[in-house]
Amino acid sequence: MAQFIAPPSYNDSIHEQQAWAMNYNRQLASRQLKSSQRNRITAIQGMIAEYHAQPVGTKNPQLLRNIVQAKQLLSAISIPTGAQVLGAEFLHAQGWSKEAVAKQVQYQLPDRAAIEPATHLRARARARTRSSTLALSFRPKTPTLTLDQIRKLLQFVQSSPSTRRMPISQIPAALGFDCSERTITVALAKHGFQSHLAITRPRIDEKSRQLRLNFALQHVKWTVEEWTSVLFYDEMRVHLTEQPQEVLVTRKLDDIAHPDCVNIEPVSPADCKNANVYFAHLSGLTGVGPLLSYTRHSNGPLGPENWYRTIFPGFANWYKSHPLGAQFALSPDLPAHSRLTIKGAVQSSHKSILYLPPASPDLNLVNEIFGTIKANLKADKANSLFGDVADYRIDDVVHDTWEGISKEHVSKLIASMPKRCQAVIDADGWYTHF
């Protein structure tokens, strides 16, 4: 029996026509917008070329405004779609490079879309200038600072933490100098000063400084064999949304640990809603221990009870695998969810505790590996097309880095402990480069 297929109703036909018309209008509007943008860019590029071809010294405000508008338009065109962002994040998590992801999601990298045409424009403008005029144009000589001004400049940038962090562009006005930002930059560079990323460390007050100095003096003569029997433990938070802001300071290369050049580490929040927390262990006897993690997707807030239930068993198994003569390096900076439990477990096992001084990540070898992990996370984020990194990709980078640490590397870290103690002594208890 033949199956009867009802003809489409009048209402169905109307709906299909409306859907087709709406889709066509969206496509047409998109094509018209892109065509209009291309036409505007072409016209303004011609204005940019005309502006560059003008004799030196002429300023056309309208052309300058057009150039700014052109740059804004170029930036707007390069904004990715939601589908491109999701696709890029997924492919990056699979290990694809930025260039391969851009090609796959059909996104032209901004540097290629904007920089290359601008380079061709400048080249054409210079050629047009050479062919259209024989007049010589002299650029005014960059003003130099007097010896007295240089002395004031060097004193100024070294006078306080705020002047160390002051942008170079604001220094001429702050000192009342009639010069450019480049003049200040050149003068500072001649005396070894440049803008560098500040290291981030916990705040060291006078009490902490004295405790650090006393610890270093007591343990600087320890042998590598003695340090090999020490068990190190620490925790690290990896922010998943807002990243800690990097701070630039004006300093010499060897001023990396100068108190005015150190960025003080903010106090971590009690919860871990926007961060993964990692718990790491190492010793000279076994190398790196298990890297345990507590993610924001785990059940319940991170507190003493949850830490004891999810993290402590792995820590206890690793700790019990060491001989009785091993010492546990306990930091007073550990959060409440782990400090008391660890201390009680160590004491009940009749093993001794090596009390580290406060504010001393340079004396806890786990932090050295944490620094490597953070550098790898930063590099991985830079390789992401739009800067978006999936949570599980972050977790993969952290674990891959940790598991790639060899026992030989741990031995080198253990052997650095006498040097670390000596560095604390040389710094009179203040910050070190470790």
CATH number for 257: 3.30.420.10
285 within a domain of the structure (yes/no): yes
> In this predicted structure, what is the pLDDT of residue 113?
45
What three-state secondary structure class fits 181? Answer: helix
Q: Indicate if 351 and 392 belong to the same structural domain.
A: yes
Q: Indicate if 361 and 390 belong to the same structural domain.
A: yes
> In this predicted structure, what is the pLDDT of residue 74?
55
Q: Indicate if 336 and 377 belong to the same structural domain.
A: yes
> In this predicted structure, what is the pLDDT of residue 26?
47
Q: Would you state the structure tokens that stand for residue 95, as one six-digit string?
A: 């290990």
Q: Indicate if 112 and 223 belong to the same structural domain.
A: no
Q: Indicate if 173 and 254 belong to the same structural domain.
A: no
> In this predicted structure, what is the pLDDT of residue 106?
78
Q: Would you state the structure tokens that stand for residue 321, as one six-digit string?
A: 């695998």
Q: Indicate if 392 and 343 belong to the same structural domain.
A: yes
Q: Indicate if 188 and 227 belong to the same structural domain.
A: no
What CA–CA distance (Å, rounded) separates 400 from 362?
23
17 within a domain of the structure (yes/no): yes
Q: Indicate if 171 and 249 belong to the same structural domain.
A: no
Of the candidates 149, 142, 169, the residue with the CA atom closest to the CA atom of residue 250: 169
24 within a domain of the structure (yes/no): yes
What CA–CA distance (Å, rounded) separates 230 from 417?
11
Q: At what angle do helices 181-190 and 147-157 cross, to 10 degrees?
A: 80
The residue type at 286: T
Angle at the Cα of 421 (from 419 to 427), degrees rounded to 5? 100
Q: Which residue has the tokens 């999810």?
A: 310
Chunked in runs of 10, what are the mean pLDDT values of the chain (434 residues)? 45 48 47 51 51 48 63 61 79 82 77 49 50 44 81 96 95 94 94 94 96 98 96 91 83 94 81 82 92 77 83 88 89 86 81 94 96 93 83 92 95 97 97 96
Please tell me the pTM assigned to this model.
0.71
> In this predicted structure, what is the pLDDT of residue 302?
79
Count of domains observed in the chain:
3
44 within a domain of the structure (yes/no): yes
Burial bucket for residue 366 (CB in 10 Å: 0-12, 13-18, 19+): buried
> In this predicted structure, what is the pLDDT of residue 418?
98
Q: Indicate if 378 and 238 belong to the same structural domain.
A: yes
Q: What is the CA radius of gyration of the chain?
A: 31
> In this predicted structure, what is the pLDDT of residue 298?
67
The DSSP output letter for 349 is T
Q: How far is CA 216 from CA 67, 78, 220, 311, 415, in A?
A: 60, 54, 6, 31, 15
Q: Indicate if 293 and 406 belong to the same structural domain.
A: yes
Ramachandran class of 280: left when φ > 0, alpha when ψ lies in -120 to 50, beta otherwise: beta
> In this predicted structure, what is the pLDDT of residue 35?
52
Q: Would you state the structure tokens that stand for residue 177, as one six-digit string?
A: 């100098």
What is the CA 398 to chain-centroid distance, rounded? 15
Among 155, 175, 192, identify where a domain stops.
192
2 within a domain of the structure (yes/no): no
Residues in the chain: 434
What CA–CA distance (Å, rounded) separates 300 from 306?
7
Of the candidates 346, 270, 343, 268, the residue with the CA atom closest to the CA atom of residue 303: 270
Of the candidates 416, 426, 390, the residue with the CA atom closest to the CA atom of residue 217: 426
The residue type at 156: F
323 within a domain of the structure (yes/no): yes
* 384-419: b (≥16 Cβ within 10 Å) or e: bbbebbeeebbbebbeebbeebeeebbeebbebbbe
Q: How far is CA 272 from CA 154, 269, 411, in A?
A: 43, 7, 32
DSSP 273-310: TTEEEEEEEEETTTEE---EEE-TTSSS--SHHHHHHH
- Domain, as residue range, for 171: 147-192
137 within a domain of the structure (yes/no): no
What CA–CA distance (Å, rounded) separates 335 from 341?
11
Of the candidates 343, 363, 362, 361, the residue with the CA atom closest to the CA atom of residue 353: 343
Phi then psi for residue 353, to 5 deg, are: -115, 135
> In this predicted structure, what is the pLDDT of residue 142?
52
> In this predicted structure, what is the pLDDT of residue 110?
60
> In this predicted structure, what is the pLDDT of residue 8?
46
Q: Indicate if 180 and 267 belong to the same structural domain.
A: no
DSSP 66-133: HHHHHHHHHHHHTPPPHHHHHHHHHHHHTT--HHHHHHHTT---HIIIIIHHHHHHHHHHHHHHHHH-
Whether 238 and 398 have beta carbons less than 8 Å apart is answered as yes
101 within a domain of the structure (yes/no): no
Q: Indicate if 335 and 394 belong to the same structural domain.
A: yes
Among 192, 212, 229, identify where a domain stops.
192
> In this predicted structure, what is the pLDDT of residue 279?
94
Q: Would you state the structure tokens that stand for residue 127, as one six-digit string?
A: 């050629």
Whether 104 and 96 have beta carbons less than 8 Å apart is answered as yes
Of the candidates 116, 127, 138, 137, the residue with the CA atom closest to the CA atom of residue 53: 127
